[in-house]
Structure 1
C-alpha cells in the first residue's frame, strides 16, 4: 500500500513538472521588457558587474525603495552566468537565463505546494488539484514570465518551503522537530530578504497551526515569536525606505477600508473568472473612490466576511479564507504603497495568496468521489493551462506587453508611456510623441504626469531639437514633482543646448536642494559650472558627488 502511494506521488510530481514546462517553457525564450527590468537588471551596474563589493552593496541599504538583497544577489549570479552563456543578440545580459530562473522557481514552488497540501490532507489527488490550481491559474503568468518578479517567485518558493517545514515540524517526532523548525526558520528568513510581503508568513503559519493542526493559540504564538522578531526590523527598514511624497494620493483612514474591500472584490472576481489580465488595471485609489459602485464592491466583501466568521466554524473553510486574506493584506490599500500610483491591484500580488484557494480545492476533493474528481482535474488542467499559456506569451517583449495592455485598458498610463518610449528607442519620434501625449491625457495623478512630461521634454530636446518646447514640458514636470531627478537633468540639458548655461546651473542648484542625497545631480551641477568656466565650483560639486558615492559604498 505504501509503495503504491509513493508511486502515485511520484507520478503526480512528474505530471506537475510536465504541466509547468508545457505552459511556462516558452517564457525561457522571451526577451527583457522595459517595465522595470532595466532598473533592476540590465541597466543596473551593481548587478551587471559581478563582484564581492557589489554583492555586499545590496545588503547595506535599500535599493529602489526595496530591501531585497537576496533577490539582487541572485540576479547578480544570473548576470555572471550570462558571461559564460551569452545570448544570441548583442545584449550584455542573456534574458533567457533570467527567464529560466523564474520558471524553475515556479516549478519548485508547485512541487512544494503539493507536498505541503499532502501533509495537511493526506490525499494525493486533492493535493494534485490544489497544486495545479496554484501552478496554472492565469494570474500566475505575470510572476513567472516577468524577470523583475523573480523577487516574487523567490519569495513565494521560500515562503511555501517555510510553511511546509513548519507543518513537518508540527507532525514529526521529537528527534526531528529541531531540524524542521530550523529549516522553516531559515527559509522564512531568506523569504524576508527576497521580498517584503513575506512578513505575512507567520500569520499564515498561525492559521495553519490553529485551524488545521489543532494547536492552542498560546502554543501557536510561542512558536511564531522568533519569526515575528525577524519581521520587525524588515518592517522598519521597508517603511523608512518608502517616501510617501512619491505617492500621488493618500486616502483617509475610512477610505482605505473601502479601497481594501474593492481590491478583495477584484481579486475574487479574477480568481473565479481570470479574463482580461494585464499589467495595469488603472484602479488607483482616486478612481476607485470616485466610482459610485465603491459602496458595493468595497462594503459587500466586509459584510460577507463578517457573516462567514459569525456563521461558520469549519476549519476547512476558515483556514483557506484566512490565508487568502492575510496574504493579500499588505497590498490591499490599508497601507499606502508606491504601485498605487498605477493601480492598487496587480496579478502578482496573488502569487502566495493562491495557497488559500489551492488548500480549499484540496479539501473539497476529499468530499468528491474519485472519478468525478479526475474529470474536474482534467478540466482544470485544460482550461487554466490554455489560458495561462496564452497569457504568458503577452510577455515575450515590451511592445507585445504594452499593446496587449492597451487592448484591454486604453487608459493605461503605464502602457501609453512605456510604449511611447519603445517607439522613441526605435527612432519613431512621431509615434513616441503621440503615445506620450496620450499618457499625459490619461494620467490620474501628478506623479505620472510629470514622468510623461519628462519623457516628452527629453524627446523634444534631444531628438527633435525643439528646445523651447522641451523646456516648457520639463519645467512643468519639476513643478508637478519637485523630486523627479530626470526632469531636472533633462531640463538643464535643454537649457544648455538652448544657450542658457546659467539657467541650466540654476536648475541643477534647485535639484541639489530638493534631492540632496543623489550623487548624479551633484555631478551634473559640476559639469554645468565647468561649462560656465567656474572651475572652483565645479571641483566642489565633483567632490560632493564622490563623497556621497563613497559613503554609500562603505
Structure 2
C-alpha cells in the first residue's frame, strides 16, 4: 500500500513569495503611473524655436529619408557636436510618418508628438532602471550576504528604492530635458549611462557573490555596449566610469585598484572620446574665457546653484543668465563658489559615518564636472547653468532619498517623503505647460530672467512667424541692446524690417550679421532676396552663391539662386538648382512652382505640368490652382483651366488675378455674362483696377461684335 503524504504548496505559492512578487510589481506600476501623470501633456506640445529647428525641422539631413543622410551623422559632426545616435533617432522619428505612408512623394513633416512621446518613453525607462540600481545598492549595503531578495523582511527596500526613483522622475529640474525635443540627447545619454551602471554593478555583484546562476561576462559586455551608446548620444558620458567606480566602491567596498581591473577599458575610451570632442569643437566661438584662477569658483557657484534648486524648486527657466562675467562681477561668488568645497571637506571628515552621503555627493558632482565651467563651453555665453545638465546627476539625490527611507523610523521618513514628492509633483505639473509652444515658453523665460537675450530674440522670432512684426522688431532691438554682437538677432531683425518694406534698413542689419559671422548662410541668401527687391540682381546672385558655398545642402538658397538665374534667361543652370533644391527637400512647394514657371517659359509643358501638379498636391492653395490653370490655358485646355480657376476662386474669393484670367477665358468662349460677373467682382474689390476696366471694355466689345455678326 502506498503511503500518503500531506500536500504542500510550492514556494511560488507561499504568501511570503506572493508578497515579495507584488513588492516588485507595485513599485514599478506606481513609478510608471506617476511619471506619466506628470509628463503626459508633453505629447501634445509643439516644437520650440530653441534648437528644435536646427536639430529637427530645419535640419537639412532630415528632409529626405536616405542612408547617405543617416550615415552623415556617423561620419561628420553636426553643429560642432558628434552625437550620431541622437541624430539617428531624430531622423527615424522625423521620417516615420513618411515611411509608414504609401505616398512616396509626400514631404517630410516631422510630428512633434512622436518626438515628445519618445522623450517620455526614454525617461520612463531611465526611472525604472534607476529603481533597480537603487534596490541593488540598498540590498548590498543593508544585507550584503543576500544575493537576491527572498524574504518579506527585505520588502521595505523595494519601496525605499521606489521613493528615490520617484524623486528622479518628477523633480521639477527634470522637466526641461523631458519636455524639450532637443533635450533628447540628455535623455538618451542618461538612459544608456544608467543601463551601463546597472549592468556593471550586476557584473561586480555576480563576481563578488558566486555560487548562484550568474553571467558576469554577459553583464560586462552589455555594460560596455551601453556605455558606448551613451557616448554616441552625448560626450558628457565620459564621466560614467567614475560614477560606476564610486557606487561599486561604496556598496562592495572595492578599492580603486580593484575597480581598475574592470574599468580600465572604459577609462581609455573616455580619454579618447575627450580628445575627439575637443577636436570636433575646434573653432567654437567662446564669448568669454574666464581666467584659470576663477574657473574653480565658477564651477563651485554652479554646483551651489543646482543644490539651491534641488532644495527650493522654484523659478525654473531655460536661461538663467548666469554667465562667467555675471558671476565674476558679484562679490557673493566667494561665498557661493566656496560653499561646495567646504561641504566636500565636511563630507571627507565624515566619510566613515556618512559614506553613503559622500558617494551620492560624488556622483552628483562628477556628472556635472564637464559642464561646470572648469572647462569653458559654448553655452556659457548665455549661462553656465542649465536644468538639463542635472538630468543624470539626479542619481545622487535619488540615492540619498532612497537611503533616508530605510532609516529605522520608516513611518516618519515615509510620511515626509510623500509630502515632499507631492510638492514636487505639483510643481512639475505646473512647469510642464510652459513648454507647450514657443511663445508661451519664452514669455515664461522672460519672467524668470527679464534680461534673457535668448528669450527676447526667440520670442521675437515666434511673433514674427505669426505676422506680428512690429512687436517682433521691438523685441529684437531689446535683445541687441543686451547682446549687440548677435548675428542671429541682426538677421532676424532684418527679416522683420524687410517684411515691413524697410529694405535699406534691413540690408544694413543683414550686412552687420555677415560682418560678425561671414559664413552665415541664411543671412547671405536673405540679403540676396532683399537686394533683388531693389533691383540689384547681380549682387543678389553673388550672395546666393556664397550661401551655397558655405552650406551646399541649403535647399532655400538653391531655389533662390535658381529664381534669379531664370529671371535672366539662364534656364539650364536655374533648373540645376531647382533640381538640387527638390533633391534635398522633395516637398519644397516653391521650388516645384518656380521649376514649373521656368519650364513653361521654355514650352516644356509636360514637365512644367508635373511640377505644378506636384505643388498642388503638396499644398492645394488658390495660387497652386491658378498656376496650373495658367499652364493649361497655354495648352488650349480650356475646360481643365476653367475648373482650376474656379477652384482657386472658391478657395480665395478675393483672388483678383484668378477672376480676371477666368473672365478672359469665359469671354473667349462666348460666355459674356459669366465673364462680366468675374471682372465686376474685381472692380468691386478694387474700383480703380485699370486692367479690370480694360478687360471689361474688351468683353463689351466682343459681346457687341458677336451680336452684330449674328444679326
- TM-score w.r.t. the length of structure 1 is 0.89
Task: Please say if 1:143 is aligned against 2:168.
Answer: no
CA distance in 2, matches of 1:269, 1:377: 19
CA distance in 1, matches of 2:257, 2:340: 30
Deviations 1:400-420 (A, max 9, x none): 111111122111111111111
Query: Structure 2 residue aligned with 1:127, among 148, 161, 182?
Result: 161
Cα distance, 1:530 vs structure 2: 5.2
Task: Please say if 1:31 is aligned against 2:46.
Answer: yes
What's 1:354 paired with?
394
Task: Please say if 1:438 is aligned against 2:474.
Answer: no
Task: Please say if 1:470 is aligned against 2:511.
Answer: no
What's 1:292 paired with?
331
CA distance in 2, matches of 1:411, 1:13: 43
CA distance in 2, matches of 1:468, 1:426: 23
What's 1:154 paired with?
188
Cα distance, 1:507 vs structure 2: 6.1
What's 1:235 paired with?
274
What's 2:495 paired with?
458
SS of equivalent to 1:430: helix
What's 1:552 paired with?
none
CA distance in 2, matches of 1:280, 1:404: 11
Alignment of 1:81-120 (within 5 A): 81-83=96-98, 92-120=109-137
CA distance in 2, matches of 1:244, 1:26: 39
Name the CA shift for 1:100/1:511 in 2 (closer, same or farther; >3 Å): closer
CA distance in 2, matches of 1:526, 1:247: 33
CA distance in 1, matches of 2:453, 2:464: 17
CA distance in 2, matches of 1:511, 1:292: 46
What's 1:179 paired with?
218
Cα distance, 1:144 vs structure 2: 0.8
Structure 2: stretches of 5+ with no match in the other structure? 1-15, 102-106, 140-156, 585-711
Deviation >4 Å, runs of 4+: 501-512, 515-535
Is this contact kept in 2: 1:501–1:528, CA < 8 A? no
Cα distance, 1:84 vs structure 2: 6.7
Name the CA shift for 1:52/1:480 in 2 (closer, same or farther; >3 Å): closer
Cα distance, 1:237 vs structure 2: 2.8
Is this contact kept in 2: 1:440–1:452, CA < 8 A? yes
What's 2:669 paired with?
none
What's 2:286 paired with?
247
CA distance in 2, matches of 1:133, 1:85: 38
What's 1:341 paired with?
381
Cα distance, 1:156 vs structure 2: 0.7
SS of equivalent to 1:120: helix
Cα distance, 1:49 vs structure 2: 2.8
Is this contact kept in 2: 1:188–1:198, CA < 8 A? yes
What's 2:432 paired with?
392
Higher relative contact order (CA 8 A, sep 6+): 1
Moved more, 22-31 or 289-298: 289-298
Name the CA shift for 1:517/1:101 in 2 (closer, same or farther; >3 Å): closer
Cα distance, 1:210 vs structure 2: 1.8
Cα distance, 1:275 vs structure 2: 0.5
- RMSD over aligned CA atoms reads 2.9
Is this contact kept in 2: 1:504–1:528, CA < 8 A? no
Deviations 1:444-478 (A, max 9, x none): x73xx2221111112222x1221211122222223
Name the CA shift for 1:180/1:119 in 2 (closer, same or farther; >3 Å): same
Alignment of 1:196-215 (within 5 A): 196-215=235-254
Name the CA shift for 1:284/1:509 in 2 (closer, same or farther; >3 Å): farther
Name the CA shift for 1:293/1:460 in 2 (closer, same or farther; >3 Å): same
Name the CA shift for 1:76/1:219 in 2 (closer, same or farther; >3 Å): same
Is this contact kept in 2: 1:262–1:297, CA < 8 A? yes
Task: Please say if 1:418 is aligned against 2:454.
Answer: no
CA distance in 2, matches of 1:138, 1:180: 33
CA distance in 2, matches of 1:59, 1:471: 38
Moved more, 11-20 or 31-40: 31-40
Cα distance, 1:308 vs structure 2: 2.8
- TM-score w.r.t. the length of structure 2 is 0.70
Is this contact kept in 2: 1:501–1:532, CA < 8 A? no
Alignment of 1:317-332 (within 5 A): 317-332=357-372
Moved more, 207-216 or 478-487: 478-487
Cα distance, 1:382 vs structure 2: 1.1
Is this contact kept in 1: 2:138–2:403, CA < 8 A? yes
CA distance in 1, matches of 2:37, 2:495: 43
CA distance in 2, matches of 1:275, 1:484: 38
SS of equivalent to 1:486: helix
Is this contact kept in 2: 1:82–1:94, CA < 8 A? yes
Cα distance, 1:532 vs structure 2: 11
Name the CA shift for 1:257/1:506 in 2 (closer, same or farther; >3 Å): farther
What's 2:262 paired with?
223
Moved more, 347-356 or 179-188: 179-188
What's 2:81 paired with?
66
What's 2:704 paired with?
none
Moved more, 104-113 or 226-235: 226-235
CA distance in 2, matches of 1:139, 1:198: 20
Cα distance, 1:312 vs structure 2: 3.2
Name the CA shift for 1:4/1:71 in 2 (closer, same or farther; >3 Å): same
What's 2:516 paired with?
480
Cα distance, 1:111 vs structure 2: 0.7
Task: Please say if 1:403 is aligned against 2:412.
Answer: no
CA distance in 1, matches of 2:564, 2:42: 48
Cα distance, 1:115 vs structure 2: 0.4
Is this contact kept in 2: 1:458–1:490, CA < 8 A? yes
SS of equivalent to 1:246: coil
CA distance in 2, matches of 1:232, 1:284: 28
Structure 1: stretches of 5+ with no match in the other structure? 550-554
SS of equivalent to 2:233: coil
CA distance in 2, matches of 1:83, 1:530: 32
Cα distance, 1:48 vs structure 2: 4.3
Deviations 1:276-317 (A, max 9, x none): 001111112222211222222222322332343245343212
What's 1:429 paired with?
469
Is this contact kept in 2: 1:196–1:238, CA < 8 A? yes
Name the CA shift for 1:517/1:420 in 2 (closer, same or farther; >3 Å): closer
Is this contact kept in 1: 2:321–2:451, CA < 8 A? yes
CA distance in 2, matches of 1:450, 1:401: 23
